[in-house]
Structure 1
Amino acid sequence: MERTSPQGVNIKSQDKKDDFIAPTPHNTPIVTAPIHNRQHTSTTMAGSFTPNAQLVSDLQGKLGSLIGAPTGYIESLPASVQRRLDGLKCYQSEHAKLETEFHKEIFALEKKYLGLYKPLYEKRSQVVNGSLEPTDAEVEAGKKVDADSDDEAEEEPAAKTDDADSPVTGVPEFWLTCMKNHGQIDELISDRDQEALKHLTDITLEYLEDEHAFRLVFTFAPNEFFTNTKLTKTYFYQTNPSIGDIVFDHAEGDSINWNEGKDLTMAVESRKQRNKSTNETRVVKKNIPTESFFGFFDTIAIPEAPEEEDELDLLQDQIEADYEIGEEFKEKIIPHAVDWFTGKALEYEGLNYDDFEEDGEDFYGEESDDDDDDEPRSQQRAPECKQQ
């Protein structure tokens, strides 16, 4: 597992607005509009991103930025005013120390409540996977939740009677349906991915004991695609005293042990070659990278000093997108899974995906002209419920 070395990656590129605020755990939107059109306030551990000096330097040099350059105004102020400004900086520094403690306590509170949520998540997993049936009292309480939340809701049609000859176990394709009802995540799922994701039995959240970090754990039943029973993605944070926050540092994903010929992140390209001497032809097959949800588990390697402007822009976009998806799982999919399965979550998200357009850029890579059927369906609107 590759660990990225630079810390506090700056996700702001020079074509983004100066007032950009990084997405936070409790208010990250699920839409695919450019991130610089969104502004948020932060009260959680991931309230902002701290700059990486090397990346910022490269961006400034490549794009001719004047960010951070002195204007001469402060230097022109009288010495007495500059002295007062130094005093104000002292107060600001003390404020940052208190704010750091504030965010540490929020982080600790998140850990505490995850422990309280876990018994509910465990019951949910058991019901979804068929090892537990909810009690009659729990079922009635669930029906009451729907009645209380929407008095004007149309009466639902009667549920189908179970077929005694082929009983259904648990809730089939629960997590795949949750993910497909989330517009931003659905865009990452190719047709081939769906077959593998049907074997996804649980998605859980963990906090690391000795680090400011959280881990997403995807649990799979045995399947024909890979041998891993669990795939994880871990997001690390660091304390930044200068701004009084715990900020995003980097993410690490698991390596997937693909079975022979089952790598969903690769496609087979066939080309004919003709021998000039004999005029005989042969078919040469080559594996090429292709879009897949399982690219989410890749660790984004941050080069020491990116040289090309396009390389920097792509890196910025990848880091932004990867962080957002991680937060969507942590803050929305995992805690509200049943609402994403039924499609109810789309009601309180209040979003219409037709309002946003795609720019044609691959989520985890460069632009692609491949019209393969495995392309994620970026233009589709998320329906009320995509139960399989």
Structure 2
Amino acid sequence: MSSSLNIPSKANGVPQTPANSFASPGLTAPGSTQPTVEDVAEEGSEDDEEQTPASMLANNPALAALVQSKLSGLVGKSSGYVENLPAAVRTRINGLKGVQVEHAKIETQFQLEILALEKKFATKYAPLYSRRSAIISGEAEPTAEEIAAGEAADSDDEDDEARVSEIEDDDDESAAIKGIPQFWLTALQNHQGIADLITERDEEALESLTDIKLAYLEDAQPGFKLVFKFGPNAFFENAELEKTYYYQEEVGYGGDFVYERAEGTAITWKADQDLTKTVEVKKQRNKTTNKTRIIKKVIPADSFFNFFSPPSPPTMESLEAGDVDEEELEALDERLELDYQIGEDLKERIIP
């Protein structure tokens, strides 16, 4: 099976995820406040170098995954070097391999227990997220204790206190407001990496976003699911949109879980409301009859909702056959890297 983004164990209090284990040097750990999408080099800069197979692998987790899968089949195959060593040394090397086999078994158990621990604590977070959702939607009001705890957390921020005072002075107008309007749209727009995906056309649809939930997969294959809940809107019929990230069933050669693929919900768009497409209208005149006809051409459009149609890495067969050129691989690399990064940012930062 192909191998992809390594998910190291958690250490030193920093959750290690595929987001901070890319080979790409442009990515940083989830603890940073900036989005971890690699910067694009300007023309003529030192980074503007010709792509080589090595650099493509270094910056392309999807391609590297496929190559690693191919290479993993070579692990243990002889280069002839070991066979030329003295017999006693060869025996000791085989013994070290045996020790490593046992190490891999423990590492697999370690990763599975970390995943089980994440699932366990997800149930502890669940009541807090439900409470948060009720306050945001206006189904419930915060208690005096919750308000006091929130004010105490912001007690050192004078600007926040001033803003609170301004809001309290306008009680009559605010009394008519239910919950916290556009909470999730605002949250997404305050994460630069995700905000870059949201177009003006998307904003109205995302105003109806009422919640984003995280769920771990319960079947044999490990992974997680992001569930976006929507109220009625003018754009699509779906009450929920899901994005599921699958890990491979087996721990990778390095001892970590690795991504395998992602799947999204098919969006049921209302008539002429597909935000992922634009319609180009042109007039065409017939030279013989001199009559004019209208031609409509559907063109893919940038949209946050493309997130639910994730890219698929090329197969090893297509790479070997040369069906994918370098430009296509580079474009796919950017899409896959962004897709995995956004999924991790939603899981590790936006929802918490």
Please report the TM-score for the alignment, with normalisation by the length of structure 2: 0.75
Instruction: Note the 1:224-239 alignment, pairs <5 A.
Output: 224-238=234-248, 239=250
CA contact (8 A) 1:49 1:247 kept: no
CA-CA distance at 1:79 after TM superposition: 4.5
Out of 191-200 and 233-242, give the one that drifted further.
Answer: 233-242
Q: Which letter maps to 2:244?
A: T
What is the CA deviation profile of residues 253-301 of structure 1, one whole-angstrom value per residue up to 9, with x for unaligned ones? Answer: 0000000000000011122212111334333221110110000001423
Greater Cα shift, 87-96 or 151-160: 151-160
1:275 match = 286
Please tell me whether the aligned partners of residues 135 and 142 of structure 2 are also in contact (alpha carbons under 8 angstroms): yes
- Structure with more relative contact order (C-alpha pairs < 8 Å, separation 6 or more): 1
Contact 1:30–1:182 (CA<8 Å) still a contact in 2?
yes
Q: How does 1:36-185 map to 2 (within 5 A)?
A: 52-53=65-66, 77-147=85-155, 150=156, 155-157=161-163, 158-160=165-167, 161-164=170-173, 167-185=176-194
1: CA distance, partners of 2:160 / 2:273: 44
Q: Does 1:219 align with 2:214?
A: no
The aligned residue for residue 328 of structure 1 is 345
**Cα distance in 2 between the residues matched to 1:7 and 1:271:** 45
- In structure 2, the residue matched to 1:257 is 268
Q: C-alpha distance in 2, partners of 1:77/1:19?
A: 34
2:308 aligned with 1:291? no
Q: 2:37 maps to what in 1?
A: 32
1:10·1:55 contact (CA, 8 Å) conserved in 2?
A: no
Contact map agreement 1:95 1:244 (CA 8 A) in 2: no
Find the counterpart in structure 2 of residue 366 from structure 1. Answer: none
Q: Which has the higher helix share?
A: 2
C-alpha distance in 1, partners of 2:118/2:22?
A: 30
Q: Distance in 1 between matches of 2:108 and 2:127?
A: 31
1:50–1:247 contact (8 Å) kept in structure 2: no
Tell me the number of residue pairs that the alignment of Structure 1 and Structure 2 aligns: 304
SS in 1 for 2:266: coil
In the alignment, is the contact (CA less than 8 A) between 1:231 and 1:256 conserved in 2? yes
Name whichever of 49-58 and 187-196 sits farther off. Answer: 49-58
Residue 165 of structure 1 deviates from its aligned partner by: 8.8
User: Displacement of 1:156 after TM fit?
Assistant: 2.4
Q: Tell me the SS of whatever aligns to 2:259.
A: strand
Q: Deviations over 1:236-268 (max 9, x none)?
A: 112225332222111110000000000000011
Would the alpha carbon gap of residues 142 and 218 (structure 1) be closer, same or farther in structure 2, given more than 3 Å must change? same
Counterpart for residue 43 of structure 2: none
CA distance in structure 2 between the partners assigned to 1:294 and 1:93 by the alignment? 44
CA RMSD of aligned residues (A): 3.6
Seen in structure 2, the aligned counterparts of structure 1 residues 100 and 152 have a Cα distance that, compared at 3 Å, is farther
SS in 2 for 1:185: helix
2:11 match = none
Change (3 A) 1:75 1:186: farther
Match for 1:121: what amino acid? Answer: Y
Whether 1:314 and 2:314 are equivalent positions in the alignment is no
1:10/1:310 Cα in 2 relative to 1: closer, same or farther (>3 Å)?
farther
Structure 2: gaps spanning 5 or more residues: 7-20, 41-46, 48-60
Q: Is the 8 A contact 1:204 1:334 kept in 2?
A: yes
**CA deviation profile, 1:70-111 (whole Å, cap 9, x unmatched):** 988666654543433332222222111111111111100110
Residues 69, 50 of structure 1: alpha-carbon distance in 2 compared, 3 angstrom cutoff: farther
For residue 13 of structure 2, what is the aligned residue in structure 1?
A: none
Partner of 1:8: 3
Which residue of 2 is the match for residue 340 of structure 1?
none
Percent same amino acid among aligned pairs? Answer: 45
Q: Which moved more, 1:233-242 or 1:288-297?
A: 233-242
Given the superposition, is the C-alpha separation of residues 136 and 258 from structure 1 closer, same or farther in structure 2, using an over 3 Å criterion? same
Partner of 1:14: none
Q: Which runs of no fewer than 5 residues in structure 1 stay unpaired?
A: 1-5, 12-16, 38-47, 59-67, 336-388
